[in-house]
Amino acid sequence: MRMMILVAFLVSSLLTMSSVVLCTTVTYDHRALVIDGTRRVLISGSIHYPRSTPEMWPDLIQKSKDGGLDVIETYVFWNLHEPVRNQYNFDGRNDLVQFIKYVGEAGLLVHLRIGPYVCAEWNYGGFPLWLHFIPGIKFRTDNEPFKMEMKRFTAKIVDLMKQDKLYASQGGPIILSQIENEYGNVQSAYGSAAKPYINWSAAMATSLETGVPWVMCQQADAPDPIINTCNGFYCDQFTPNSDKKPKMWTENWSGWFLSFGGAVPYRPVEDLAFSVARFFQRGGTFQNYYMYHGGTNFGRTTGGPFIATSYDYDAPIDEYGLVRQPKWGHLKDLHKAIKLCEKALIATNPTSSSPGPNLEVIAIWFDYVLDFHDPI
């Protein structure tokens, strides 16, 4: 009898343990994102789920991991998911939840850029067409009809993620979210209504209690606690708008989009790798390739004049899911080197000095006790 009770107790304990979700805390300080109390150097790459097929997703994600990535970054495309107001589509290429689950199963993290304006050379910037016909609406400004719809969709996506426990705070892979997108590039056109809109966007996003930090890219006046980040070919000179925020690069353009009649875009891997190395050397701790796999603009999803069906982007993984050499392999070796220096890179603040014209010395001083299990 005692043996039966003991067995029943052990089975019950195992079942309880199997249902325990190991939650992850994600915060930040002036140097880096902090995951479970440890500063991290993170290397990320963009893969847009609707620009490839679900059958391709696991292989694309595995090749990203094999290439040395820690994070997969994607936009969320409002007009795909809500083509008619209150009628949602999350099937097939639109299955955002499954895509994120694949990333998590591969042991990678996720940066979810909700927007909901995304640009991305996507039709109408991701906005659904019906949004245009709401009486009195003005996009991306301090306008009540627009803010109501933006909040409703953003909350819908956040709730969808929470239902499947996909945020790191729930044990899932999502460690970052983005609200708005490159608004700073057009902010002056909105006049005095722009700043209230940005403040509202930040407050709305943080009120959704995702348990992970939010970012705004190309937004120099992003209010606390939102992290402002850099987009561009080079971001080593970028500094965040607060000495309490880390230096993050959300779009390092691995190439460019293709236009009908134009030259095929090409960015040499030597230049791309140099931009990455210099960014981390000068204090950066999160860098994302836009794109790591570009994919295809299926149907009528392209946005902008003469943008081609191919969204290959000269990315490390090409439009068809094949690794592009030497770009993929060159970056893989760079990522290995960066990871070997991770403890030093995030230990303290780098200092810069110039010993002469066109010369620069970066010094990082830190105390480190050698662990004989460390790789050499």
Name the pLDDT band for 4 (thresholds 50, 70, 90): low
Name residue 62's amino acid.
Answer: Q
Residues 6+ apart with CB under 8 A from 251: 46, 217, 230, 231, 232, 288, 290
Tokens of 165: 């426990």
Residue appearing with tokens 């991701």:
126
Most distant pair of Cα atoms in the chain: their distance:
85
For residue 209, what are the CA distances in angstroms to 111, 213, 346?
A: 16, 10, 28
Q: Give me the pLDDT at residue 364, please.
A: 60
In 3D space, the residue among 340, 373, 349, 365 whose CA is nearest the CA of residue 43 turns out to be 340
Comparing 352 with 374, which gets the higher pLDDT? 352
Tokens of 323: 């690794």
Distance in angstroms (rounded) separating the CA atoms of residues 209 and 200: 15
Name the pLDDT band for 10 (thresholds 50, 70, 90): very low
Least confident of 50-59, 185-194, 349-358: 349-358
**DSSP codes of every residue in 208-228:** T--SS-EEEET-TTPPTTSEE
Tokens of 177: 């979210």
Q: Is the peptide bond before 326 cis (omega within 30 degrees of 0)?
A: yes
Q: Are 322 and 311 in contact (CB under 8 A)?
A: no
144-163 and 96-105 are packed helices; what angle lies between their axes, rounded to 10 degrees? 40
Q: Are 289 and 44 in contact (CB under 8 A)?
A: yes
Distance in angstroms (rounded) separating the CA atoms of residues 168 and 325: 33
Least confident of 17-21, 267-271, 273-277, 355-359: 17-21
**Residue 16 half-sphere exposure, CB side, CA atoms within 13 Å?**
6
Q: Give me the pLDDT at residue 354, please.
A: 64
The pairing of strands 38-40 and 286-293 is unpaired
Q: Which helix (H) or strand (E) holds 59?
A: helix 57-66
Tokens of 49: 């789920």
Residues 6+ apart with CB under 8 A from 19: none
The residues annotated as belonging to the active site are 182, 251
Provide the CA 314 distance to its chain's centre, in angstroms.
Answer: 19
Q: What is the CATH number of domain 26-350?
A: 3.20.20.80
Q: Please state the φ and ψ torsions of residue 17, each to the nearest 5 degrees.
A: -65, -35
Q: What is the pTM of this model?
A: 0.90
Q: Is the peptide bond before 350 cis (omega within 30 degrees of 0)?
A: no
Q: Give me the pLDDT at residue 372, please.
A: 45
The pairing of strands 286-293 and 248-253 is parallel
The DSSP bridge partners found for residue 33 are 28, 40
Name the pLDDT band for 264 (thresholds 50, 70, 90): very high
Q: What is the tens place of the pLDDT at every residue in 151-179?
A: 999 999 999 999 999 999 999 999 999 99
Name residue 165's amino acid.
Answer: K
For residue 13, pLDDT over 50 is answered with no
Tokens of 169: 């705070």
In 3D space, the residue among 280, 113, 244, 117 whose CA is nearest the CA of residue 184 turns out to be 117
For residue 14, pLDDT over 70 is answered with no
**Average pLDDT of the residues of the chain:** 93
